[in-house]
Amino acid sequence: MKATVAQLVQLPGVWRGGELEHAVHEVVATGHARLDAELPGGGWPLGTLSEVLHDGVGIGEISFLAGALARAAEGSRMIAWINATHLPYAPALAQADIPLDRCLVVRPANREDALWAAEQSLKSGACGAVLLWMERFAEEYAWLRRLQMAAESGRAMAVLFRSSAAERHSTPSHLRVVVASERGQISVRIPKRRGPPLHHFISCSGSHSNFPHSPSRSQNAPVLVSSRS
């Protein structure tokens, strides 16, 4: 019996070219209705690798995901911050309902250690989200594929932060978004998703001003800092 088009698009990983995939993977809401409406399944995907491209630090690249991170931490799961450009600001994390005692900050000695820490954190199943900051590195596509597979294994939200220059390079990630900020307002476009790309920017409600980074660790910031020796 020949399958109809309607039957084929119900298969995992199959969707019409002009439509979003009817996601079969788990997602978490970002808290931004316009953004969630543009994401397959209506939220940020778990169990897969995503990329956030941005230029500059503290423009809102973290705050627009705060809602998804809070949900990813449910069930006593950890959130790993690996090779972050700045130490996460504890008061803002708490304000976003992200449990501070579940935040693990890893400061690796080099890129190899950063990738190793990200892969192990994803595979462990203990982390609901793993955030990694890294630009280009040797055997890039192969490593991204390894992170993708580790995210699937651990059912974790894997997010790679890099500059917008990476947009011209191919990636195995299922989702790639570009974040920009103007006058404190965050906007996002989606050059890659399971469906047609979103070429224009959409506004995410709220400002990133309440989600700063701390340049140094505060004694009042209960964030665990770790490194691989």
68 falls in which pLDDT band (50, 70, 90)?
Answer: very high
Number of folded domains in the chain?
A: 1
Domain membership of residue 13 (yes or no) is no
Output the average pLDDT for the chain: 83
Which domain does 118 fall in, by range? 25-226
Domain membership of residue 10 (yes or no) is no
CATH code: domain of residue 151: 3.40.50.300
Domain membership of residue 14 (yes or no) is no
Domain membership of residue 12 (yes or no) is no
pLDDT, tens digit, 9 for 90 and up, residues 121-163: 999 999 999 999 997 766 788 999 999 999 999 999 999 999 9
* DSSP state letters, 112-125: HHHHHHHHHHHHHS
Domain membership of residue 158 (yes or no) is yes
Domain membership of residue 166 (yes or no) is yes
User: Residues 6 or more apart from 190 whose CB is under 8 A from it?
Assistant: 38, 39, 175, 176, 177, 178, 197, 198
Answer whether 0.75 is exceeded by the pTM. Answer: yes
User: Residues 6 or more apart from 205 whose CB is under 8 A from it?
Assistant: 32, 33, 34
Domain membership of residue 38 (yes or no) is yes
